[in-house]
Chain A
Amino acid sequence: MGGLGQRIRSLAWLSVLELYRRKDLYVALVLTAVVLVPLSAYNVFGVTGVVRHLREVSLLLVWLFSILVGISVAGRQFPPELENRTIYPLLAKPVRRWELLLGKFLGALLASGSALLLFYLGFVVVAGLKQGIWLDAVTVQAFLLHLAFLLVVTALALLGSLLLTPAANVTLCGLVTAGMLLFGGQLAGLAREAAFPANCLAWLLNLAGPHLDFFDLRQRVVHGWEPLPLGVLAAVLLYALCYTGLLLGGAAWLLHRKKI
């Protein structure tokens, strides 16, 4: 196991460097700033309670861009290696395939996680300047769960990149992510109330699909509600870890069997 840490670090470093040397992230940050700065500077249309709207828009942008960054960073970990044939010198080094997967996963997570941190810093600054509250417990929880969300999405996109073409992977991951974020909470009700066979599908999705809706604390942050009880927070984090483990296990199996 000697040098495992160094190998993983090297692989992860490559992914982080790639994100920061490509311009995509800066475009997302500039776009966020372009929307948020005017919103935070003026009381648009004289709306009362504008701070709440500002927080809502800010968080929506943070979520939107974090999904884009998370899926695109994780989704392009393997396809360029195969396309550019750099997978060969990589696997000719003393690197096991599961180490390669782990390094790529951690690198993608670190890259999109650091981008998320930048987005949240922007959000905290904007909300702090407008409201005077710089950081509260619920925002910290929202960030933590958002990070857990990225954990699952990164593993999902990595797994998809070993099965599908890059375009199909990004599209499918985007659909699954958006679908589960928007409708994941309604699946249990649908499974109870819908007619056959829709109820079976809803039941299956509710049971096996990634409940990304668990990680979304936007409403609590926007309305200033109480933070989640610690037990619930821990359970959701554990759910993220287990689901990520399952997805990575599948990806490791696929990579092990993949004809290089």
Chain B
Amino acid sequence: MEQRIVDAFRRALGAPCVITDPMQLRTYECDGLTNFRVVPALVVIPESAAAVQAAVRICHDERLPFVARGAGTGLSGGALPVAEGVVISLTRLNRILEVDLDNECIIVEPGVINAHVTRHVSDAGYFYAPDPSSQSVCTIGGNIAENAGGAHCLKYGFTVTHVLALDVVLPDGSMVRLGGRAPDRPGYDLAGVFVGSEGTLGIVTRACLRLVKRPATIQTLLAAFHSTDDAGAAVGAIIAAGVLPAAIEIMDRLSIVAAEAAVHAGYPDCGALLLVELDGPASEVDALMARVNALCSACGAWEQRLAASDAERAVVWRGRKAAFAAMGRISPNYIVQDGVIPRTALAAVLREIHELGERAGLRVANVFHAGDGNLHPLVLYDRKVPGQEHAAEALSGEILRICIRAGGSITGEHGVGMEKRAFMAEMFAEPDLDTMQRVRCAFDPQRLANPDKVFPRPRLCGEKTGPYVPHPLEVAGVAEFF
């Protein structure tokens, strides 16, 4: 990067907030998806919203692509840098600015860690509902970019349900407030489209989040089944009965073995484990849990254990939330997949995934948010065995195609990022993607914000849709499509 541009960042942000040392830059070369790596030209770590704005202005003036980054725990390569661009790290914007319990909201900077929001208000009896498994390290800014979910979004909704207002630096360096607490305000739902846009529309510098009153009672049931088919049938029965649990999770045999090896959660030794959490007023939870118990028994549960105390529940959840990392106990390498299917397709899709695994000679563990059909198949392989990595990637991609065919989605919570760009064209038709580009161009006509992510073939703003015609910049060798 030209020295004068580096100097401009130093003048605007202060020299300690600008990283140019190649070794230090390498720290930022990837996020949680480590098979994509790009060393950025520059990293800046602004300490205020104004400094974020200043950094984006320089990027805009110099036509430099930029990538916002939180804790870097994303699993789809959304925070992968651009080689000639700038990474804007938000980790120093980590202040909790205002807590307003009367109105059940909290105002935070984007670098605040998800779990710290709940920790900050738990003594007062509140919590922040979105709970991605990485919540002990991931940041609110990243959660907003990805529209993060978690086990409890079945009942409480995703990040988008819990974002009340956002202050955003747009890619031209201007600051704008999206959303707000006032109902029925005339205007387009810009906050609704911004949440989940994976850093392609701007950078959040301040977020007003909804807090939820902790329910009077929480009960977590562990039910042991012989097979995922039986456990899946129980999920269908529970939903059909009109019960809306706070969470319903299934772990298959391989996941249980791995989680046990890693955190000793004391799970029953079974073919499939169903975890059902109910919360609410005590009389309601008691009545509904009795019903859930009966439905589980009817579907073949041969053991049911109730975790009623906070400590017991914590152990149950530790095993579930550690399930990805625990795969390291039973396999040298693994790919985490994230797809969604209609709940009713669960048994058929699991069978199809199992058969694919057998054909490829690979094991696939399954952990999933069964209530909302969000699968997390874990494709296990050994990089040292020639061809296995390639086979695992192919299998992982096929699983997404199964999800699309079943009427589902290629991602329920990890995002498209770098990893699934190509699959967007399989899930959406060209006009659908073009329309998303039109929206992107309204926010970012220069295409500077996280430019290479989400879309299979980013269009330049102003480019005509329809049959492919090379853009003048492409012909001139200034820009290229890939």
Do A and B interact with each other, yes or no? no
- Partner-A contacts on B (CB < 8 A): none
- Partner-B contacts on A (CB < 8 A): none
